[in-house]
Amino acid sequence: MIAVVGHADLTLDTLTLVESEVRMRLERLADNVTGLVRAGAGLPVVLGRAVRAAGRQLVVLLPAQGTVPAALPQGDRRAAGELLILANQARLLPFDPDDRDACVGADEQMISTSSRLLAVWDGSASNGRDATAHLVAYARARGVPVDVVWPEGATRAPATPQHLRKVGHAPTGTPARRNDIDVQHPA
């Protein structure tokens, strides 16, 4: 299984570049490769689409309270719906989706159970908002091979309140979401 993580503050143009790049990389791998993402808006949806477009299986991790799914933040609900339509399997993982540290912990668990990590990462250090560098280091420290995806022309959006509203991103650090999502299941 390949875990897929990355920056939450990618521009819409970058999300398009990433979707294409991830799809091409996955198409070159063995047919039995499965992609694994944590449910959320923005990058997780793009990654889920790329996994399915490459003809691969998709597993989506959902937050849980005990043995039942936990409510996702409002901004992630529509995206989670699309991911569940794309998914071949959904798994529950106990964590609070409103708690950044709990989400990082969920990503660490996802990486620990994977044979490879695909990281959409510009190489920058982690800061208080973004844990991508930490997750790459976490994977490497555990011997999980890491493939970095950063297509030519990819950019991160400035963290301004205007940008956060423009792409449907909540100021609390929840991922960007596209407002033009058409929910379709690939054939």
Q: Residue 127: its pLDDT value, please?
A: 76
Q: Residue 148: its pLDDT value, please?
A: 96
Q: Residue 31: its pLDDT value, please?
A: 83
Strand, coil or helix: what is 79?
Answer: helix
Inter-residue contact 119 to 147 (CB < 8 Å)? yes
Q: How far apart are CA 179 and CA 82, in angstroms?
A: 13
Q: Residue 158: its pLDDT value, please?
A: 81
Instruction: Convert the pLDDT of each residue in 150-163 to its tens digit.
Output: 999 999 988 654 43
Average pLDDT over residues 128-138: 89
Instruction: Convert the pLDDT of each residue in 34-70 to its tens digit.
Output: 999 999 999 999 999 999 999 999 999 999 988 889 9
Q: Which residue has the tokens 């301004």?
A: 160
Average pLDDT over residues 14-19: 94
Average pLDDT over residues 28-39: 90
The architecture CATH gives domain 2-166: 3-Layer(aba) Sandwich (3.40)
Alpha-helical segments (H) within 144-185: 161-166
pTM reported for the whole predicted model? 0.80
Q: Structure tokens of 186?
A: 């690939």
